Amino acid sequence: MSKSVVEQVQETVAFLRSRYPETPEVGIVLGSGLGNFAAHIRVEAEVPYSEIPHFPVSTVKGHSGKLIFGELAGKKVVAMAGRFHFYEGYTPQEVVFPVRVFKLLGIRQLLLSNAAGGVNPGFSVGDIMIINDHISFGTPNPLVGKNIEEWGTRFPDMSEPYKKSLIARAREICSEAGIDVREGVYYAVTGPTFETRAEYKMIHTLGADAVGMSTVQEAIVANHMALDVFAVSIITDLGIRDEENVITHEEVLEAAKAAEPKLAHLFTEMVARA
């Protein structure tokens, strides 16, 4: 019989503890173009996903990812350099597997980041947006299926998916550093297509400020497991321009890279004050 998710996560955690015996306090997920942030971590162990039991197997050629364990701002952290997206063909359960592993490794707080398209007309490319809520009708809910009672309740409350106290802390950090920061609602889509002009407009009409292909499934599972979640979008393109509106993956990566120092400062300080 195939192993239950609980057994799989437990085996993965046991394996990772054999590679890195310490308990990370904060988990970090690095979004597209934001991998450079890993350079700020004093690395104590690196484990390629391909070596980790039960981790989703990448089918994309040249797609490598790894877990990085180490110290940041005096605290033990674990970071995912490369995440799993639903559009790559992973099931929602595979997408969130690492978050469940992080929780059982002992993290208290989860910091998520992503590259996103801006649909708020006041936004510019390179802005950083604290996510204060999300709309998730676009991607399947990873909690569909038999509930794992030992991890969380059948019907999790989602009134505060992104912890208000962490949002306040992030605003304080940005204000101290003179970083102009936005705040808003993230709309999750499956991708891999970028949105049509009509879709960007609709997403804004529905009350969102940014749109992207990740993060929400991870945030849902983290809430289910009672982790404190904080998430940030880097606005890498604008979906609401009236003129020619061609968006490319290269443009997204470039804009994310350019904004990475702001994210690095924010995440480093979030960890320092965690």
For binding to ligand HPA (CB under 6 A), which residues are involved? 115-117, 189, 191, 194-195, 211-213, 236-237, 239, 247, 252
**Which residue lies nearer to ligand HPA by CB, 118 or 152?**
118
Output the six-digit token pair for 160.
């505060």
Residue type, 154: R
Nearer to ligand HPA, 52 or 203 (CB): 203
Rounded CA separation 101/89 (Å): 20
Comparison of 55 and 186: residue with beta carbon closer to ligand HPA = 186
For ligand HPA, give the closer residue by CB, 24 or 212. 212
| Residue of this chain nearest to ligand HPA (CB atom) | 117
CB of 212 to ligand HPA, least distance (A): 4
Query: Least distance from C-beta 128 to ligand HPA, angstroms?
Result: 13
CB of 130 to ligand HPA, least distance (A): 17
Nearer to ligand HPA among residue 82 and residue 152 (C-beta): 82
- Cα distances (Å, whole numbers) of residue 111 to 32, 37, 187: 15, 13, 18
Start-end of H helices in 133-248: 164-177, 197-205, 216-224
227 versus 238: smaller Cβ distance to ligand HPA: 238
Tell me the C-alpha distance between 76 and 73, whole Å: 9
If you count them, how many residues does the chain have? Answer: 274
The region that residue 89 occupies, defined by phi over 0 for left and psi between -120 and 50 for alpha, beta otherwise, is left
264: part of which helix (H) or strand (E)?
Answer: helix 249-272
Q: Which of 65, 31, 70, 7 is nearest to 271 (CA)?
A: 70
Report the nearest approach of ligand HPA to the CB of residue 220 (Å): 18
28 beta partners: 79, 111
The span from the CA of 116 to the CA of 153, in Å, is: 30
Closer of 43 and 137 to ligand HPA (Cβ): 137
Tokens, residue 123: 């936004």
Q: Give least dist CB 175 to ligand HPA, A.
A: 26
Minimum Å distance from CB 264 to ligand HPA?
19
CA 179 to chain CA mean position, Å: 21
Q: How far is the CB of 234 from ligand HPA (least distance, A)?
A: 8
Q: What is the CA radius of gyration of the chain?
A: 18
